[in-house]
């Protein structure tokens, strides 16, 4: 039985003709589009590690984390100035003040910035500060927002909705592409499944990575921090994501010396652990290159 409205991968040429492999034979069936963000290249083989605090909480905290991220050898800095929180009574982010702090962190470290935008009215503002615009899981199907970021002229990091199928995720990416912006990086961040909440925050869907690679030419990265919600799981989840073909990682880091983070403290890793993950990512990439040359 074929239930109307239920997508399968056979529907992708109709749902996302601008992005799916079948309708874009120029990508040769296995090539990835390289998306460049301030000199950092997603999809060209070498994994990109983005790291930083969940939220920008202060100048001191953000700069301390940014220095740790740089020291660990990561490629880009993350940090939310506008935070999507479950309760409206929780810390909502520092807003434009947070964006200014991110700009200072970029000036000091040279790391390009990715930060979330949640509101169509703020796309222009956030785009003035960010090198890459992040669409969060909760907004993956906010179609006016997707169109607006598509028009903003900046690369976009599109997180997977926590209950979104592959077809819905790629359909969301198509909204951005339809505005003429194909500089999109997909990010798997864990899905709601029966085990979610029991021993981890979400369920990391590693299987979706090869499925993404088979069906679109866009690069895809993994967020092991939100996917697990548990700091001790972030490093093994990062390694697994790279084994499954992820083009990079998005990781939450804290500098516990400046205080416990106000958001997502349980999943934050320290700079030392991040450095190990970066080292593994480079080492694994070199191994794969070597194996390919030898074959």
Minimal distance, residue 84 CB to ligand PEP, in Å: 6
264 in contact with Mn ion (CB under 5 A): yes
Least distance from ligand PEP to the Cβ atom of residue 116, Å = 6
80 binds ligand PEP, rule: CB under 6 A: yes
228 binds ligand PEP (CB under 6 A): no
CA–CA separation, 133 and 115 (whole Å): 6
Is residue 226 a contact residue for ligand PEP (CB under 6 A)? yes
Which residue's CB is nearer to Mn ion, number 89 or number 292? 89
Interface stretch with ligand PEP, choices 8-16, 64-72, 136-144, 283-291 (CB under 6 A): 136-144
Q: How far, in Å, CA of 151 to CA of 230, rounded?
A: 36
Where b means 16+ CB within 10 Å and e means fewer, 156-182 reads: bbbbbbbebbbbbbbbbbbbbbeeebb
CB of 53 to ligand PEP, least distance (A): 9
Region 232-291 residues binding ligand PEP, contact defined as CB under 6 A: none
* Binding window for ligand PEP (CB under 6 A); candidates: 58-66, 122-130, 135-143, 165-173: 135-143
Q: Whole-angstrom Cα distance, residue 97 to residue 103?
A: 10
Instruction: Determine if 54 is a binding residue for Mn ion (CB under 5 A).
Output: yes
Closest distance between Mn ion and the C-beta of residue 90, in Å? Answer: 12
| Rounded CA separation 108/103 (Å) | 9
Kindly report the number of other CB atoms within 10 A of residue 4's CB atom.
4
The encoded tokens of residue 156 equal 């976009």
User: Sign of the C-alpha dihedral, residues 199, 74, 63, 71?
Assistant: positive
Least CB distance to Mn ion at residue 85 (A): 10
Chain residues in the site for Mn ion (CB under 5 A):
54, 264
């Amino acid at each position: 039985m074929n239930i109307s409205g239920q997508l399968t991968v056979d529907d992708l040429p109709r749902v996302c003709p601008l992005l799916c492999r079948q309708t874009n034979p120029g990508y040769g069936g296995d090539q990835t589009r390289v998306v460049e963000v301030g000199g950092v290249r997603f999809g060209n083989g070498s994994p990109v590690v983005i790291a930083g605090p969940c939220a920008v909480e202060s100048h001191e905290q953000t700069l301390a984390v940014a220095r740790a991220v740089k020291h660990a050898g990561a490629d880009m800095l993350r940090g939310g100035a506008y935070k999507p929180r479950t309760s409206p009574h929780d810390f909502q982010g520092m807003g434009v003040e947070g964006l200014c702090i991110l700009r200072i962190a970029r000036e000091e470290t040279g790391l390009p910035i990715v930060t979330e935008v949640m509101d169509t009215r703020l796309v222009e503002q956030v785009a003035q500060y960010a090198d890459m615009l992040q669409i969060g899981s909760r907004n993956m199907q906010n179609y006016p927002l997707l169109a607006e970021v598509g028009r903003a002229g900046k690369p976009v990091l599109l997180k997977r909705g926590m209950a979104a199928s592959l077809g819905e995720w790629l359909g969301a990416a198509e909204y951005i592409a339809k505005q003429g912006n194909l500089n999109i990086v997909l990010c798997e961040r864990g899905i709601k499944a029966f085990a979610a909440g029991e021993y981890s925050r979400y369920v990391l869907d590693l299987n979706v990575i090869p499925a993404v690679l088979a069906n679109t030419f866009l690069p895809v990265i993994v967020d092991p921090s939100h996917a697990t919600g548990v700091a001790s799981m972030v490093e093994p989840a990062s390694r697994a994501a790279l084994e499954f073909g992820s083009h990079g990682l998005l990781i939450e880091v804290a500098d516990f010396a400046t205080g416990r983070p106000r958001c997502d403290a349980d999943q934050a890793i320290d700079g030392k652990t991040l450095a190990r993950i970066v080292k593994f990512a480079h080492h694994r990439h070199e191994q794969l290159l070597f194996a390919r040359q030898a074959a």
